[in-house]
């Protein structure tokens, strides 16, 4: 089964409405924006992070226009020296490749050991957009339904108030 089909099937099973746009390969958000121009929904940045000892994993969803201040993330979550996780950890935990990280990678987290965080600003948006575990589609889901999806998979999520002027 194709990754996007797995995502659609999970959303259908949870009675979550979505809009999906199939398009050519998009390696960057700028490329993806070209294919989804004019469609309502905030563009997300989903980051897969780990701590210094690589014992914990974190999935952070925030507005694509925002930059993450790792020190602030550490202060808000208690994560010790957070950093971007290596590609092999991303593949092992979420079954994803760099550039297509999304909340839907949780479908592949068999160990159920990823901590999920949302920036509070993004939750005020009506809809969010993600790659559905593949970079040849973009999917739009109501923000409340994204939270429903996470809860239905059995994850708790935490809301962070990330500063607007953070630096990456």
Residue 10 burial by CB count (10 A; 0-12/13-18/19+): exposed, middle or buried? middle
Minimal CA–CA distance to 50: which of 66, 28, 73, 75? 73
> pTM of the full predicted structure?
0.92
Q: 167 Cβ partners below 8 Å, 6+ apart? A: 67, 69
Residue range 83-100: mean pLDDT, rounded: 95
Half-sphere exposure of 137 (CA within 13 A, CB side): 19
Q: Where are the domains of the chain?
A: 3-160
User: β-strand 137-142 against 127-130: which pairing, if any?
Assistant: antiparallel
Q: Judge: domain 3-160, CATH 3.30.460.10.
A: no
Bridge partners (DSSP) of residue 140 are 19, 129
pLDDT at 168 over 60: no
pLDDT at 64 over 70: yes
pLDDT at 8 over 90: yes
Confidence grade of residue 133 (pLDDT, cut at 50, 70, 90): very high
Between CA 50 and CA 58, with CA 52 as vertex, the angle to 5 degrees is: 15
pLDDT at 9 over 60: yes
């Amino acid at each position: 089964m194709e990754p996007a089909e797995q995502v659609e099937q999970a959303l259908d099973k949870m009675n979550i409405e979505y809009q999906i746009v199939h398009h050519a390969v998009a390696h960057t958000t700028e490329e993806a924006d070209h294919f989804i121009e004019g469609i309502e929904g905030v563009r997300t940045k989903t980051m897969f992070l780990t701590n210094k000892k690589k014992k914990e994993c974190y999935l952070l969803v925030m507005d694509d226009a925002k930059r993450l201040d790792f020190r602030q993330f550490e202060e808000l979550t208690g994560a010790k020296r957070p950093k971007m996780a290596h590609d092999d950890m991303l593949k092992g935990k979420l079954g994803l490749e760099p550039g297509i990280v999304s909340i839907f990678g949780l479908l592949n987290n068999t160990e159920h050991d990823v901590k999920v965080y949302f920036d509070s600003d993004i939750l005020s948006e009506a809809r969010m957009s993600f790659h559905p575990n593949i970079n040849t589609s973009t999917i739009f889901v109501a923000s409340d339904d994204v939270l429903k999806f996470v809860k239905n998979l059995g994850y708790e999520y935490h809301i962070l108030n990330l500063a607007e002027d953070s630096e990456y």
